[in-house]
Amino acid sequence: MTGGRFSLALAVAAALAVPAAAQPAQPTAKALYLLKCSGCHRADGQGAVQAGVPPFPGFVGALASDPAGRTYMLHVPGVMGSGLGNPDLARVMNYLLDTWSAVPADRIPRFTSQEVERLRAVPVNDVVNYRRGVVARLRKSGAPVAEYPWP
Ligand code: HEC
């Protein structure tokens, strides 16, 4: 009995002794992406065009270079339903940009938690239609736009 309690105490002490570095306070942006987004968008961001999931590489930077495109990005169903708070959404969005933007980083501002909060408050009733407005502007400026199920 005493021995059992002693080994339990040892186990607890050992668990508490795990160095802080081994237990990050928050998941990395990549981990958030893998957990919340990659099920549909895939780990490599290529999505599945046949299934209606647009690819990110080469396209996501153009979306984020347009002010309404930034609002749009925060209103797609996968982001709305992610359950992530503003700081984590900013980190995931920046992960998309850091990983798959073809536009030079200095030309696309990264998201801040404050911007995410502001953009999420913008009313977007019909996200597909909202995308059309963004895409029309991007096409006019010659920016690349991903293949998408409802053009
Ligand atoms: C259940 C599947 C699913 C999940 C999970 C999901 N998405 Fe999506 N995502 C889609 C589909 C389908 C589209 C395209 C159609 C649409 O707008 O709904 C899309 C579109 C997008 C777009 C716009 C791309 C374009 O070219 O218009 C962005 C940005 C995006 N998702 C980001 C994310 C992020 C970030 C996450 C994780 C927090 C996420 N998505 C989770 C299915 C998903």
Ligand 1 atom, smallest distance to 37 CA = 37
> Among 76, 79, 129, 134, which residue has the most ligand 1 atoms within 8 Å of its CB, making it the best to mutate?
76
Place of tokens 């980083």: 105
Residues whose CB is less than 8 angstroms from the CB of residue 76 and which lie 6 or more positions away in sequence, other chains included: 127
Task: Label residue 57 exposed, middle or buried (CB < 10 Å: 0-12, 13-18, 19+).
Answer: middle
Residues whose CB is less than 8 angstroms from the CB of residue 48 and which lie 6 or more positions away in sequence, other chains included: 40, 42
> Among 40, 128, 148, which residue has the most ligand 1 atoms within 8 Å of its CB, making it the best to mutate?
40
Residue 56 and residue 112 in contact, taking contact as beta carbons nearer than 8 Å = no
- 9 CA to centre of ligand 1 in angstroms: 47
Token pair belonging to 105: 């980083």
pLDDT at residue number 18? 55
Q: Round the CA-based radius of gyration of the chain to a whole number and report it.
A: 20
In whole angstroms, give the CA distance from residue 2 to residue 55: 60
Ligand 1 atom, smallest distance to 89 CA = 38
pLDDT in 10s for each residue of the chain, 151 residues: 455 566 666 555 555 555 556 665 789 999 999 999 999 999 999 999 888 899 999 899 999 999 999 999 999 999 999 999 999 999 999 999 999 986 676 789 999 999 999 999 999 999 999 999 999 999 999 888 887 777 6
Residue 53 and residue 47 in contact, taking contact as beta carbons nearer than 8 Å = yes
Quick count: other Cβ atoms within 10 Å of Cβ 72?
A: 23
pLDDT at residue number 4? 59
pLDDT at residue number 8? 62
Place of tokens 């209103």: 75
- 140 CA to centre of ligand 1 in angstroms: 24
In whole angstroms, give the CA distance from residue 38 to residue 115: 24
- The candidate with the shortest Cα–Cα distance to 133, out of 118, 145, 121, 116, is 145
> For residue 80, which amino acid is it?
M
- 141 CA to centre of ligand 1 in angstroms: 24
pLDDT at residue number 25? 75
